Chain A
Amino acid sequence: MAFMLGVLLAGVAAWAEDGERLAGHHWEGTEYIGEIRLQIGLMAIISCTMLAGYYLRRVLKNRNER
């Protein structure tokens, strides 16, 4: 749904590939490795937030039961 909305709102100029930016092997540029590091960081943040939320809920539940 987000993709469809994005496409509908985007200008026509969005439909073009930038070949020069990605010339050479993917392990030589910074685009791929940068995105990998960012995604690992995002996953770590989301996982920690979910675990912290779960732990807090458990603590609150235990306290209420007491």
Chain B
Amino acid sequence: MRDQVLGVGSWVLVGKGIFDMRKIWVVAKMSLLENSRKQVFHVLCLVMLALIASSMLLSIFTEGVRLKILKDICMTSILFGGSALAIALGSMGIPNDVESRTIYPIFARPISRSQYITGKFLGTMLTVFLGVLAMTIVFAALIASFNGGFDPYLLLAVAFTLLEVCIVAAIATTISVFASPAVTAAFTFMIYICGTIKIGYFGGMIERTADGISKSLFGVIYHILPNLECFNLKASLVHHDPVPASYLAQVAVYGLCYSAFVLFIGMVKFGRREV
């Protein structure tokens, strides 16, 4: 038994099995190249960059208010742009590979289905990261032009936005395993909206619901939905309010665990699917 445990430990540590990063990286690199050539990536990045750059036109407001509104608009653009990219790219990757039959030469190589899903997700996240990075650079330059320096709260807010986008990408990748791109995009968008208003709206809704069956149905949905609002640190960036480190650590662990869990479900589902 001890030998078995040690064997599994070394198997994971040396990067073999489903965590073989070399194989995952091959799929991720291929996915990144494929995604970066897609029109939707270029269009969304350009629209969001134009929106962030146009925040310079907020000259009707006074100095302090202008900076706050600039941060508000730019963070919303980064979050919306990142999520839209994750939904668009995550929902198209696997169904397109199956439809164009490019998945067969991949599986002819010693790459497992779990490695393929993880690689696809990683490729989507790398593409989204590139888009968000471009938006963040423009945003940081705008803040510097108004403020005269770099705002350290910006990095924290963007990092947690990326964690939120990571959950959205994982959901899109998992749903795309068994649904068409259009259905995946619509369903992921619904989950994204519901996850954002989860505590603020659904929490109150459950408390006020009188019917028992209805209450339990809402309760199930409530606990399944991701808690996306907790990644929103826009208020901290705008007002420079400090956020407790313990809260940040727990939210970061939650983001990683939720993404891994959703991907795990996708792997199980994809493992049983006929391709």
Contacts and interface: CB of A to CB of B under 8 A. Distances in A.
Contacts of A3: 217-218, 221
A37 B251 CA distance: 9
A53 to B, nearest CB: 11
Interface string A6-27: 1111110111111001100111
Contacts of B254: 36, 39-40
The DSSP consensus for interface residues of chain B is: helix
B261 A43 contact: yes
A40 B221 CA distance: 16
B110 interface: no
The DSSP consensus for interface residues of chain A is: helix
Nearest to A13: B208
A32 B227 contact: yes
Given A6-B214, A9-B217, A47 B261 contact: yes
B15 interface: no
Contacts of A40: 253-254, 257
Contacts of A16: 204-205, 208
Nearest to A42: B223
A48 to B, nearest CB: 12
Given A5-B214, A38-B223, A25 B241 contact: yes
Given A26-B229, A27-B244, A39-B227, A10 B210 contact: yes
Interface string B190-202: 0000000011110
A47 to B, nearest CB: 7
A39 B195 CA distance: 13
Interface of B: 198-201, 203-205, 207-211, 213-215, 217-218, 220-221, 223, 227, 229-230, 232, 235-236, 241, 243-244, 247, 250-251, 253-254, 257-258, 261, 264, 268
15 contacts: A6-B209, A8-B214, A10-B205, A11-B208, A11-B210, A14-B209, A18-B204, A22-B203, A33-B250, A36-B227, A36-B250, A39-B227, A40-B254, A40-B257, A47-B261
Given A7-B214, A35-B199, 8 more contacts: A3-B221, A6-B218, A10-B205, A10-B214, A17-B204, A26-B229, A27-B247, A38-B223
Interface of A: 2-3, 5-11, 13-18, 21-22, 25-27, 31-33, 35-40, 42-43, 46-47, 50
